[in-house]
């Protein structure tokens, strides 16, 4: 089983919009918090963590979240490792009743900072990512 990172994020009053539900843009913030934790576990080195940037996010809203839900559980898992990218599958689940609130897929690219362009994931980093993901299934 691949590495899955879960992070519980409290729903704050400031996350609400005029309709008293979590603003749709905040869903991305919740996912980002879990994705940061996920990359931290997967890459295992700060330099590697910061070498990835978001290229694309697809987000399907399934149900609304309100402050009454208390918190949301954001989940991230690795779907695939490409030549210069990682693809993650992500979910938001309401803590109050386990209801699925959103599903997402994100593409993160390995960045060549000097050229500010995508670059192939170095072999050593790729090996560590695959090893960390595989080790999660052994735990």
Is-above-0.85 flag for pTM?
Answer: yes
CB 128, CB 81: distance < 8 Å: no
Mode of pairing for the β-strands spanning 85-94 and 71-81:
antiparallel
DSSP helix/strand/coil, 27: helix
Per-residue confidence of the chain (139 residues) as pLDDT tens digits? 577 899 999 999 999 999 999 999 999 999 999 999 998 888 766 667 678 999 999 999 999 999 999 999 999 999 999 999 999 999 999 999 999 999 999 999 999 877 788 999 999 888 888 888 777 655 5
Q: 4-133 sits in which CATH class?
A: alpha beta
Q: Which residues pair with 10 in a beta bridge?
A: 71
- What does the domain layout of the chain look like in residue ranges? 4-133
């Amino acid at each position: 089983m691949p590495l899955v990172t879960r992070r519980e994020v409290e729903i704050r009053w400031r996350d609400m919009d005029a309709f008293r539900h979590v603003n749709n843009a905040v869903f991305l913030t919740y996912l980002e918090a879990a994705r940061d934790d996920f990359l931290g576990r997967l890459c295992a080195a700060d330099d590697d963590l910061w070498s990835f940037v978001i290229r694309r996010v697809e987000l399907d809203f399934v149900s609304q979240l309100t402050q009454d839900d208390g918190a949301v559980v954001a989940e991230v898992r690795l779907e695939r490792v490409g030549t210069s990218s990682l693809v993650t599958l992500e979910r938001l689940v309401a803590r109050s009743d386990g209801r699925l609130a959103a599903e997402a897929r994100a593409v993160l690219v390995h960045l060549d900072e000097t050229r500010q362009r995508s670059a192939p994931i170095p072999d050593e980093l790729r090996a560590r990512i695959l090893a960390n993901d595989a080790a999660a299934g052994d735990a």
